[in-house]
Amino acid sequence: MTKKDTLELKKRLNKTDCSITKLCGCYVDGNKNKVLTLSETFLNLDDEEFYKYLDLARKCLSGTVGNNLLQLEFPTEEEEPGGRQQFFMGIKESALKNEDLLDRFYDLIIEHYDCAGNYLILLFKDAYDIITKTNDGLKLDESEEVYDYMLCAICPVTLSKPGLGYREEENRIGARIRDWVVGAPDTGFIFPAFSDRSSDIHSLIYYIKDARDSRPEFVENVLGCGTKRTAAEQQQVFSSIVKQAFVTQEADSEEVLLQLQESFQDMICTDGEEAYEEAEPVLLTKELVDEVLTEHEIQGDAARQIKEGITREFEAEPPVLTNLIDEKALEKNARKKEEANLRLQVQSLQKELAEKAFLTSDENAVSENFPDEVTTDLSGQTACDVILRVSPEKAPYIKSEIIDGQKCLIIPVEEDEQINLNGVTAEI
């Protein structure tokens, strides 16, 4: 399943191209009771209801592939009689008209769907006549395949917020009547999967609104598929592994994590969006982990813990490097580095300007106070052997002494004072 596959399905869900024939559903309250069931011919709905239901169906094809949308495979046992794949196949082939199968489906969700409030289970039946496309993307009039599928959306139903409103019957402003409002789906699936512009009965497309929690219990108990982490979950696991490895270390675990992610980013193709999408995904292999740890000189217990954690969590399914990168965090860190660099540049310039201003003022002071004592040679250079430039506050403390028969100038210097000797900063 690719981004193009999901977009091809999604763009059909509009008034003109929509071919959904049947809509069924079940409204469940917070005590897991069936409040009502519904069964409608979709194209006969009023326009207002039609568009609202269509929007809910479209939501189950939104988000990022690999994060909000996962292609889940059925294990072999689930494709045998009595398995989930056969169960879903029966519901689809009945065109949502077998009430016994629908009741079993609703009961299955009610038993295993974790929700504290009310929710609405919706099932849409659709058939997409896939038009053949040429290699350059042009459509031909002949049909390639009919993609017959069902779409399930589970939507939370919440009570509208209290407030004031105009009560027309009483012609006054009063407390607004609170209604139960159907929200956007937080979980859903499409069976069978639509992969490479074709039906794949061995898998389904799973939608999850919150990519940080893929609801593994729901996946196993309702869908009958093996669990699969979203990109957000893989990133959370990787971050936890790195941070845990530096719990007893003095190193900043956040800084180390950002450094590793920056290295991952450098390993990924960035030559434009098209090249990025067509490039082979880079997986987190053991060799790559060794390379990155060596690059950042991560050794000892920290390196061992990171390797063991990655093997434990990702050996069965190595993640794609893009899934482990927190782009927002990297952008924020890049801005911080840029700001820090700019501050250093400003400080350096301010220091340089201050030194130039001091030298200029001191030269003016010398020319004003000792005009007769400063002479120049033919080249225009100062003829004196020794020229001193000190701040006015320092001048009163300068004195001369005879040391080892040699006349010397004594200039007291504090520890935090800087000395510039012939344009060169000197340390004492």
Share of the chain above pLDDT 90, in %: 54
Q: What's CA 77's distance to the chain center, in Å?
A: 35
CA-to-CA distance for 269 and 205, rounded, in angstroms?
27
Q: Is residue 422 scored above 90 in pLDDT?
A: no
Instruction: Give the tens place of pLDDT for each residue, 125-160.
Output: 999 998 876 655 555 656 678 999 999 999 999 998
Between the alpha carbon of residue 335 and those of residues 98, 331, 340, the distances in Å are 59, 6, 9
Q: Which of 395, 399, 372 is nearest to 384 (CA)?
A: 372
The total number of residues written for the chain in this structure: 428
Mean pLDDT in the chain?
Answer: 86
Q: Could you check whether the bond before residue 156 is cis, i.e. omega within 30 degrees of 0?
A: no
pLDDT band with cut points at 50, 70 and 90 for residue 275: very low
For 38-60, what is the mean pLDDT?
94
Burial 2-25 (b: 16+ CB within 10 A, else e): eeebbebbeebbeeeebebebbbb
In this structure, the number of other CB atoms found within 10 A of the CB of residue 37 comes to: 14
Work out the angle at residue 218's Cα, subtended by the Cα atoms of residues 216 and 219, and round it to the nearest 5 degrees.
Answer: 65
Residue 287: helix, strand or coil by DSSP? Answer: helix
For 215-223, what is the mean pLDDT?
95
Q: What pLDDT score was predicted for residue 379?
A: 47
CA-to-CA distance for 229 and 70, rounded, in angstroms?
9
3-state SS track over 353-398 = HHHHHHHHHHHHHHHHHCCCCCCECCCCCECCCCCCCCCCCCHHHC
Q: What pLDDT score was predicted for residue 140?
A: 60
Instruction: Give the tens place of pLDDT for each residue, 85-97.
Output: 999 999 999 999 9
Residue 321 token pair: 């490097």
Q: What pLDDT score was predicted for residue 86?
A: 94
Residue 173 token pair: 């402003």
Contact indicator for 242, 317 with CB cutoff of 8 Å = no
Burial of 193 (0-12, 13-18, 19+ CB in 10 A): buried
For 358-380, what is the mean pLDDT?
53
CA-to-CA distance for 220 and 81, rounded, in angstroms?
17
Work out the angle at residue 161's Cα, subtended by the Cα atoms of residues 159 and 165, and round it to the nearest 5 degrees.
Answer: 120
Residue 75 token pair: 């294990």
Q: Which of 130, 279, 276 is nearest to 195 (CA)?
A: 130
Instruction: Give the tens place of pLDDT for each residue, 324-351.
Output: 999 899 889 889 888 989 998 988 888 8
The residue whose two tokens read 């701040």 is 391
Q: Which of 395, 370, 400, 396 is nearest to 382 (CA)?
A: 370
pLDDT band with cut points at 50, 70 and 90 for residue 383: low
Q: Tell which phi-psi region holds residue 171, choosing left (phi > 0), alpha (psi between -120 and 50) or beta.
A: left
Element (DSSP H or E) covering residue 242: helix 231-245
- What sign results for the dihedral spanned by CA atoms 133, 134, 139, 141? negative
CA-to-CA distance for 271 and 287, rounded, in angstroms?
24
Give backbone dihedrals phi and psi of 152, rounded to 5 degrees, phi first. -115, 135
For 361-370, what is the mean pLDDT?
55
pTM of the model: 0.74
Q: Is residue 385 scored above 90 in pLDDT?
A: no
Burial of 221 (0-12, 13-18, 19+ CB in 10 A): middle
Instruction: Give the tens place of pLDDT for each residue, 174-207.
Output: 888 888 999 999 999 999 999 988 999 999 999 9
Instruction: Give the tens place of pLDDT for each residue, 315-325.
Output: 888 999 999 99
Contact indicator for 271, 307 with CB cutoff of 8 Å = no
Q: What pLDDT score was predicted for residue 389?
A: 73
